[in-house]
Amino acid sequence: MLLNLILVLLLLQQSVRHDPHSYSNPQQIRIEHTDLNLKVDFDKKQLHGHVTHKLKTVEGQSPTELVLDTRRLNIERCEVSTDGSNFTTAKHQLDKEDHILGSALRIALPQNVQSVRIYYHTSPEASGLQWLNPNQTADKKHPFLFSQSQAIHARSWIPTQDTPGVRFTYDAFIDVPAPLQPVMSADRHETKMLGRYRFNLEQPIPAYLLALAVGDIHFQPIGKRTGIWAEPSVVAKAAKEFEDMELMLEAVESMYGPYRWGRYDVLILPPSFPFGGMENPRMTFATPTVLAGDKSLVSLIAHEMAHSWSGNLVTNATWSDFWLNEGFTVYLERRILEKVYGKERAEMEAQIGRNILEKSLKTMKPKEQLLYIDLKGIDPDDNVTDVPYEKGFLFLLHLEKLAGRERFDAFLKGWFASHAFQSVTTPIFVAYLKKELLDKDAALANAFPLEEWINKPGLPKDIPTVVSPALGKAAGFAKGWSGNAVLAQDLPVKKWSTQEWLYFLRSLPESLPASKLKELDDAHHLTQSGNNEILAQWLEMAIRANYEPAYPRMETFLISIGRRLYVKPLYEALLKTPSGKERAKAIYAKARPGYHSITSGTIDEMMK
């Protein structure tokens, strides 16, 4: 018993202590509040100014240095203060760069230090920023800048304790050239000075949720707490597409407790944004590729919004605990979809997710298939696989089915409430799960293979499946049409949702001849599809079949869109044949300058 307790304490302590992706020393001293003062210079592609961190020394510690994470930052001067208002120059040292982690910045501390201030500027190739020329934006008139800090890129634009285990509040003054406007993951205020904006966030967040975007962006409200920021030609379309945002927010609140962040707005970025969405507090950043015109891709908004509970409120303490963010969020996302759009929609998404997961597991190494994963020496950007998302989802679905919805909902709500504004590890969650659910119900504990779920590859046997009758039918048509029993023009596509189309396409045999694709294209114009999810799937099939008529569209797609999830499979498919490889290289040469470094980093690796 005592031994057990000591073990748990040790584990907990270690979990707070060790984040292999940060050089910082929060076990000695922590940032409590950050004040940013930055000027945005589009000509030099740099942010310059200073940051002041208010520090709190951990009880019993007397640190002699503050270690901050940086990457390619130009540090001009460091200052320290013991009263928070008078600053004096302090010695600092920038360590040698590690290609994943960047460089540790060491600042010598006086006794009783209260604050440090760092004068610096970013480099044009900062990994967490993308500077866009006007022609890379929707309206092609003004330049654009956006940040993407997750997982460990905040350090490329702010010297900070860049670990999700440390949380702080922040204020910022941002200067931008008029008429451009900045937004941040914070409350926004105009000031009396032209081009100067003030921000503040009173809820403590980890560094990966620091966010900034600057462009010719305008606001259109949706509900009382919700709205859209986007370029002029995009804003109305996006507000229509996402008009259910306020309803979604109410749906989550009814299940998992109040929304704790004040407003919820969405910023629509230019198409080079490397992700579908990023859950920056108060201001989700989203790819324009979800603007399908028929709300068919709004699951992305449900997902990013859900992070306001799973991720932003209760945060993975290290990137090894990433599934606590993403698996929980996929689960919440589908519960939102069910509440707002009905059970069928949620079932379809779940079945599509299961399918994708099973496919990926086939090609992944066993150690990559673990929920609680060892990422020492691994770039956390490379752990964005279907495992934390879809296996994490199935973990929670399994629990839900065994415990029953009512009990499980109360459990989850309790988890968010009791760990609000905390960073949590897998052992912390496991301890909570045991205490609140498994220890109270022996039958449940017996039926739930906890250890296997967390620490074993693959999926446990006999776990629940979600079956969507509509998708079953779509798969039936895939069989019928590919086997020449159904004609392309006789497919009941008028009634198909995007999800049914996707499932139909994904259920087709891997090796269809180009003539068959032509048949489908002639009847349903897939090469001209305005739905990017369907289009990306179709283009991948077109490459596999060497279906020439789709190639011009594929090239435009790859050159104009930088969302990694879409472009990676297309290059992968191209690289499988010698002629495809040539084509891939030629297209990539044109596309690469427009890609974000997260996307080009991934594609560079593949092209080697």
Angle, CA of 585, 147 and 265, to the nearest 5°: 120
The residue range among 31-39, 320-328, 358-366, 456-464 that interacts with Zn ion, by the rule CB under 5 A, is 320-328
Residue placing its CB nearer to ligand BES in the complex, 228 or 306: 306
Minimal distance, residue 94 CB to ligand BES, in Å:
25
Q: Which of residues 122-181 bind ligand BES (CB under 6 A)?
A: 150-151
108 makes contact with ligand BES (CB under 6 A): no
Phi/psi at 174 (5° precision): -125, 130
* β-bridge partners, 80: 88, 116
DSSP classification of residue 494: G
Minimal distance, residue 389 CB to Zn ion, in Å:
7
307 makes contact with ligand BES (CB under 6 A): yes
Amino acid at position 470, single letter = A
46 makes contact with ligand BES (CB under 6 A): no
Minimal distance, residue 344 CB to Zn ion, in Å:
23
391 makes contact with ligand BES (CB under 6 A): no
Which of 79, 304, 338, 500 is flagged as catalytic? 304
Residue 187 site contact among ligand BES, Zn ion, none (CB < 5 to 8 Å, cut-off depends on kind): none
Residue placing its CB nearer to ligand BES in the complex, 46 or 315: 315
Interatomic CA distance for residues 234 and 144, integer angstroms: 14
Minimal distance, residue 549 CB to ligand BES, in Å:
28
Q: How would you class 409 by CB atoms within 10 Å of its CB: exposed for 0-12, middle for 13-18, buried for 19 or more?
A: middle
Residue placing its CB nearer to ligand BES in the complex, 384 or 570: 384
Closest CA to 496 of 260, 294, 310, 312: 294
Q: Give catalytic status of residue 304 as yes or no.
A: yes
Interatomic CA distance for residues 557 and 591, integer angstroms: 10
Interatomic CA distance for residues 132 and 231, integer angstroms: 14
Q: How would you class 182 by CB atoms within 10 Å of its CB: exposed for 0-12, middle for 13-18, buried for 19 or more?
A: buried
Residue placing its CB nearer to Zn ion in the complex, 205 or 474: 205
Contact criterion met (CB below 8 Å) for 282 and 186? yes
Q: Strands, E, within 254-374: which ranges?
A: 264-268, 277-278, 283-286, 314-316
Q: Strands, E, within 163-249: which ranges?
A: 168-175, 181-184, 187-190, 196-205, 212-215, 218-221, 226-230
Which residue in the set 276, 281, 327, 594 belongs to the binding site for ligand BES (CB under 6 A)? Answer: 276
The residue range among 125-133, 275-283, 494-502, 600-608 that interacts with ligand BES, by the rule CB under 6 A, is 275-283
351 makes contact with ligand BES (CB under 6 A): no
278 makes contact with ligand BES (CB under 6 A): yes
Which residues lie closer than 8 Å to 103 by C-beta, 6 or more apart?
70, 71, 94, 95, 96, 97
Q: Give catalytic status of residue 510 as yes or no.
A: no
Q: Could you tell me the two tokens for 276?
A: 């579908």
Minimal distance, residue 299 CB to ligand BES, in Å:
6
Residue 275 site contact among Zn ion, ligand BES, none (CB < 5 to 8 Å, cut-off depends on kind): ligand BES
Residue tagged 């415990």 (tokens): 403
Which of 341, 389, 571, 595 is flagged as catalytic? 389
Minimal distance, residue 337 CB to ligand BES, in Å:
11
Residue 506 site contact among Zn ion, ligand BES, none (CB < 5 to 8 Å, cut-off depends on kind): none
Residue placing its CB nearer to Zn ion in the complex, 326 or 386: 326
Interatomic CA distance for residues 1 and 6, integer angstroms: 9
Interface residue list for Zn ion (CB under 5 A): 326, 329
Interface residue list for ligand BES (CB under 6 A): 150-151, 275-279, 300, 303-304, 307, 326, 381, 384, 565
Q: Which residues are catalytic?
A: 304, 389
